[in-house]
Amino acid sequence: MPIHEGWLDGARRVPSPNQDVRPDGEVSLLVLHSISLPPGQFGGEAIERLFTNRLDPAAHPFFAAIAGLRVSAHLLIRRDGECVQFVPFQARAWHAGRSCWREGGVERRALNDFAVGIELEGDEVSPYTLAQYRALAAATRALLASYPALTAERITSHAHVAPLRKSDPGPAFDWAYFRQRLAGSGNFT
């Protein structure tokens, strides 16, 4: 899965208006998220509608509270492993919100300026699928190959960068398994 002009080959493109220019053009952090709309339900078009400002507030009681949000992610990985890209990687997606990254004694804020956001369709309690881990590992390898400032040590969770606000992708996400997939080691079925 190479990346060309900021777009992951093979990903379905659904451009989001919720993006802008990265101030310094830096891509050096990967933040993993989870999302399900309505909460705890998978499938459907609600996530794509949210990220493209087309969510119908009358379609579900939960949607009324979030329909006005202007958010996006670079990439969504559906339960079946399909990748949907909303924002090219060299642009700033609006995914991390108020957040902070600490490394080597240095604290940085405004993570959207330099982070890629990948949403996994899921919630914090349901196990993620093998297809999602495969797609995530492939997309991450492509990002690591395309952006030298991004390293395996600079992959984190929304919970880690916004611990008082967020807990995703949650305890259902198997970090050890993901890192094994990323390294290409182990016997995986």
Residues designated catalytic: 119
Residue 122 contacts residue 167 (beta carbons within 8 Å): no
**Mapping DSSP to helix (H, G, I), strand (E, B) and coil, where does residue 120 land?**
strand
Distances from the Cα of 34 to the Cα of 12, 37, 103, 119, angstroms: 19, 10, 24, 5
**CA 151 – CA 53 distance, rounded (Å):** 32
β-bridge mates for residue 167, sequence order: none
What CA–CA distance (Å, rounded) separates 164 from 40? 21
Bridge partners (DSSP) of residue 77 are 83, 120
Alpha helices, DSSP H, located in the chain: 46-51, 63-66, 130-146, 158-161, 175-183
